[in-house]
Structure 1
């Protein structure tokens, strides 16, 4: 039996989900290219969500440090992170990306961007479920962490 190729290994570790995520993020961005006239409140709301989302993505990445991987399978050297933003939600990077998409759609007055953001939310639901199965196998404390911490929005989802 031949060893798996790099592409096969990437796909086995959830690379298809990462590729779909990348495509959806591009579609969110392109979906907001044509701007409809929006009011001041809509502009402020959109920019606020985008700023919050960007800060959450950056903070989540910083919190993971060397544990950061786009794949839903943890790195061989990974350690469980439950501090910082991870004390409030299990997947802050996904939350931040969704806030960015929502803010972009609102700012641009784009139903297309909002629709693609909804599709991205569905993908993150499935990707995070796969990720959590792997984390439960890898880290015995992960089950207790899941019971006390919501997936995407503190105290809600």
Structure 2
């Protein structure tokens, strides 16, 4: 049986790459940019960027050999529910969301803020498909869903 591009979620990875390129390399003044940078917001944005980066890296390391760029879990993968995965089911996505909003605050650009919002919505949609696959693979995933928030610890 041949694999299609949707068998492992390659389209999601492609869209995610496009959104991240748009975030970091897109035009920062498309919807207007303040003439002066508000320093406290810039400082908060830098902090959020590095906190988000740290969360995403911590989550990736915690996955160990289960880490894959595809949303479909590896055939021989295990369900990780400890460490940061006890706080949120998709901590890599959470970290990228935090760093995206941090980047938007750093640049103080409406365009970058809009892309960060689109990334948040995209990760919610991507995680829905990923969770379908996780439910198929791991019978205990449904219980994990009940007790752990999806994208933002303690909130959502």
When the two structures are superposed, what TM-score results if normalisation uses the length of structure 1? 0.91
Paired position in structure 2 for 1:26 = 21
Report the counterpart of residue 103 of structure 2 in structure 1: 104
Greater Cα shift, 10-19 or 146-155: 10-19
Q: CA RMSD in A?
A: 1.5
Task: State the aligned residue count.
Answer: 152
Partner of 1:4: 2
Note the alpha carbon deviations across 1:71-107, whole angstroms, 9 max, x for none: 1110011000001110000000001111111001111
Q: Does 1:115 align with 2:110?
A: no
Alignment partners' CA distance in 2, 1:32 and 1:88: 35
Shift >6 Å, 4+ stretches: none
| Partner in structure 2 of residue 147 of structure 1 | 146
Q: With structure 2 as the length reference, what TM-score do the two structures score?
A: 0.91
The aligned residue for residue 11 of structure 2 is 16
Tell me, what secondary structure is at the counterpart of 2:53?
Answer: helix
- CA shift, 1:11, in A, is 3.1
Quote how far apart the aligned CAs of 1:126 are.
1.1
More helix by share: 1
- Looking at structure 2, the residues matched to 32 and 152 of structure 1 have their Cα atoms a distance apart, in angstroms, of 28
What is the match of residue 133 of structure 2?
Answer: 134
Query: Residue 32 of structure 1 contacts residue 105 of structure 1 at CA under 8 Å; is this kept in 2?
Result: no
Unaligned runs of 5+ in 1: none
